Amino acid sequence: MCFGLMRCMDSIFDDKRVAVSVLMVWLAVVMILFNDIGLLQTTFMSFGPSSTAKFMGAVLDTWYKWGMVAGFTLVNTSVNDFMSDAISPWLLNTITDHKSKYIPYPKYVCLAISQLWSIYCNLMSVFGMFLAMTQIDFVLIRMLADLTVNTYTNLKFMRFKEYSPSKYHDIEMQNVPILHDSSQQQQSPSSSFDSSSTAATNTMTMSRAEARRVDSGAQTVPLFVIEEDDLSPRLRKV
């Protein structure tokens, strides 16, 4: 029983298509339950101007007030989503990732971008919280803006990616071999000077270089190598 449950959870966790399907089923169950207890018949589920629609204390009882807040919701959500997809991944992958050794701007500029983004997010989160509690129509406007902007940004993220399930699931196929075959390793160089020159040349030309080598007689023996790919560096003994 437990083993079957774990396999089911693994399938949901690993296959994002199954995960999204489970989310949609859960959303439908939640909506049915909320309808049974009467939450879908409250004033929150109203559309348009209403005396019960309040945004940060302001009553949205005219089309002008409602339109102003609706326009703000649409534009603000679009700006927030666009900037979030532009700045947040950059901060995560370029600034905080230890594998990224180079930055495109001076350090003080990177710090300023990070701090200003934090200030903006904290202030805008206040407006977002009150909008979410105002009325269901503003929630739907936010969702429309989310879907529109996220479609553009996700297509931009995927523009250089290739559909290949076999390569995606087979990590070994994504790693380029870093060592020559055994016959090439067993060939003795004419001198220690030549082997040192060959090692230096290979270090400069190979994308994955040997990290440490020692001379054992006439043969150069690699102690360990560092495998570096697009994901993470790994240390492997030879």
Predicted confidence (pLDDT) at residue 187 exceeds the cutoff of 60:
no
CA-to-CA distance for 39 and 55, rounded, in angstroms?
Answer: 20
Task: Tell me how far CA of residue 109 lies from CA of 57, 104, 106, 116, 171, in angstroms.
Answer: 38, 10, 5, 10, 36
Tell me: the pLDDT tens digits for 22-54? 999 999 999 999 888 888 888 888 888 888 888
Q: What is the pLDDT of residue 184?
A: 46
Percent of the chain with pLDDT over 90: 37
Q: Where are the domains of the chain?
A: 1-41, 44-159, 176-237
Tell me: the pLDDT tens digits for 140-171? 999 999 999 999 999 999 998 888 888 877 76
Predicted confidence (pLDDT) at residue 204 exceeds the cutoff of 50:
no
Task: Tell me how far CA of residue 190 lies from CA of 61, 212, 219, in angstroms.
Answer: 91, 20, 9
Q: What is the pLDDT of residue 229?
A: 47
> Checking DSSP bridges between strand 219-228 and strand 233-237, what pairing results, if any?
antiparallel
User: What is the average pLDDT across 1-5?
Assistant: 80
Tell me: the pLDDT tens digits for 116-132? 999 999 999 999 899 88
Predicted confidence (pLDDT) at residue 234 exceeds the cutoff of 60:
no
This prediction's pTM: 0.63
Q: What is the pLDDT of residue 185?
A: 46
Q: What is the pLDDT of residue 173?
A: 54
Q: What is the pLDDT of residue 45?
A: 87
Joined together, the tokens standing for residue 232 give 């993470």
**Cα–chain-centroid distance for residue 20?**
17
